[in-house]
Amino acid sequence: MVKTKLQIMDTKPAAQTPPRGCTNFKLRQLLRRVSLVYDRAMAECGLKTTQYSLLTHVEKLAPITQAELAKAMAMDSSTLSRNLKPLQTAGWVAIQAGSDARSHALTMTASGKQKRIEAQALWKRAQIQLNETVGLDDVIALHGLIDRMTDALSLETEEAA
């Protein structure tokens, strides 16, 4: 059995030992490295990973208001607006009249659907590369840990609001 780089370097601290270092720093460090894998792949089609994610969510949820999309993606509205602008300028996402005179709905254009299909193949390649580099079992475990921590922190932030 061939071990992945992560399994070779695995040094799990004892459960009672408190973590060393800053969790936020460690997460950002990991995120930068993971993002680099996806960003390199997405660069081939001229998208950033955030733009691919937006296209995917708009296609899946459309028609959707910007406020609903921000909530679904756990983003603040101003960040979402900034990230949507290039997609609208490129003609991949359109704004249509919403259910009332004050609301607007985001939808995916035909060229946006084509761009997402092009990007999806590149995203899949990046995902496979990450799975092979880190190891599928560790990626699955990471997803589970992220989901549990996101849920726990979501509950904490909801209670504080």
Average pLDDT, whole number, for the chain? 88
Give the residue with greater pLDDT, 14 vs 36.
Answer: 36
SS3 label, residue 105: strand
How many C-beta neighbours within 10 Å does residue 76 have? 10
Percent of the chain having pLDDT more than 90?
Answer: 73
105: which strand partners? 65, 96
pTM of the entire predicted model: 0.78
